Amino acid sequence: MAKQTSKPYGEGSNSTINIISEGTIIKGDIIANGDIRIDGELAGNITAKGKLVIGPNGKVKGEIVCNNIEVSGYINGKVTTTELLNMKTTSKIEGDIITSKLSVEPGAVFSGTCAMRGTNPVNETAKE
């Protein structure tokens, strides 16, 4: 089950954190204005205006569009970020990446293509 926590009312729309716990499997798309953490499994697309964290046991099969992403788990699909994609040691990405900045720790595995663009790659992709 997805768990949602937030700051007190009135502190901004991006204060929401959505958590998909380990052992949870979701089939379908997620659209969020806040941050998301995935420790379970998702078969679907994610669009988030905040930061996305894929925990060490997290698995996503689908397209991801977000501002920032930190990956410690597994992604199979296209990843588009407007700012930073951070691949931790335990991460594995199979798919194409479009980002402004890329950080890859030793031990991380990536199979696909990577395009590093200006400060707003999502809009540049839409123009193509």
Rounded CA separation 5/99 (Å): 28
Q: Are strands 46-48 and 25-27 parallel, antiparallel or unpaired?
A: unpaired
**pLDDT, tens digit, 9 for 90 and up, residues 103-122:** 999 999 999 999 998 755 45
**Torsion of the alpha carbons at 43, 71, 103 and 90, rounded to the nearest 10:** -120
Rounded CA separation 96/111 (Å): 8
- When pLDDT is averaged across residues 59-72 and rounded to a whole number, the result is 97
Q: What are phi and psi of 80, to 5 degrees?
A: -125, 125
**Tally of structural domains, the chain:** 1
- Domain housing 58: 2-127
**Among 77, 81, 84, 70, CA closest to 122:** 81
Check residue 117 and give its pLDDT. 84
- Residue 120: its pLDDT value, please? 53
What is residue 121's predicted lDDT score, i.e. its pLDDT?
A: 47
Q: Is the full-model pTM beyond 0.85? A: no
What is the pLDDT confidence band of residue 17, given thresholds at 50, 70 and 90? confident
